[in-house]
Amino acid sequence: MVLGKIAGTITSSVNGTDIPGGRYLLINKCDQQGQIKNDFLIALDLVSAGIDEMVMVSQSTAARETPTTQNKAIDAVIVGIVDTIDENEKVVYKK
Amino acid sequence: MILARVSGTVVSSRKAEKMEGLRLLLLEKIDPISMKGKNEFVVAMDGVGAGLGEIVFYVSGSGARMAETTLGLPTDATVTAIVDVIEQNGNISYQK
């Protein structure tokens, strides 16, 4: 998974993916401390993530391994909201 | 999915059989902060009837073959949505 911060929301009335009520969020990839990289992608939100929260995003075929996205034209899903990250026994990120 | 702007169309008369029938779009990836093109282009199948200049997002890899209009087609990039609004930090950074 990659780490990212929720940077915004994307609204689209014309959407060929037919996931009713699908919430598409703009993700700004970040490092384990939460430093953003200004490298963006769009992911379907499965966990009701909020603005600025750090999340884990699963991409490619794995993105279709959820009941909501099975056999759907989706290549990125938010699979979790990060609470804390520790690195070398030191907490480097805390929600 | 990746944010992009439709910058043109690609016409190919001699192509793989199963590529028939769907419009091919020239997409330029855009940076959502500046909304400017990143000079990185891709050819994608048009799954939703996107027009020139419209902001869209496209799915890549095997997901591109999962849209209703591209089931079983040899595509690895398909436009699945036309973007109406991008909202960042509480304000609208793009409105169709």
Ordered domains of chain A (ranges, CATH): 2-12+21-94 (2.40.50.220)
Distance from CA of B61 to the nearest CA of A (A): 6
User: For B80, which of A11, A13, A15 is closest by C-beta distance?
Assistant: A15
Distance from CA of A89 to the nearest CA of B (A): 33
| pLDDT tens for each residue of B24-65 | 999 999 999 999 999 999 999 998 999 999 999 999 999 999
Rounded Cα–Cα distance for residues B46 and B50 (Å)? 7
CATH superfamily of B2-95: EutN/Ccml (2.40.50.220)
| pLDDT tens for each residue of A64-94 | 999 999 999 999 999 999 999 999 999 999 9
Q: What are phi and psi of B12, to 5 degrees?
A: -140, 115
Instruction: Sort out which chain A residues have CB atoms less than 8 A from B47's CB and list them.
Output: 16, 73
Inter-chain CB proximity B59 and A7 less than 8 Å: no
Span of A14-23, A43-52, B4-13, B37-46 with lowest mean pLDDT: A14-23
Q: What are phi and psi of B62, to 5 degrees?
A: -65, -25
Domain ranges (residues) in chain B: 2-95
Q: Is A66 helix (H, G, I), strand (E, B) or coil?
A: coil
Distance from CA of A44 to the nearest CA of B (A): 9
Interface test with B, best of A2, A6, A9, A12 (most B CBs within 10 A): A12
List B24's β-bridge partners, or say none. B10, B45
Which ipTM value was assigned to this complex? 0.86
Inter-chain CB proximity A26 and B84 less than 8 Å: no
Amino acid at B17: E
Q: What percent of chain B has pLDDT over 70?
A: 100
User: For B88, which of A7, A17, A63 is closest by C-beta distance?
Assistant: A7
Q: What are phi and psi of B65, to 5 degrees?
A: -95, 10
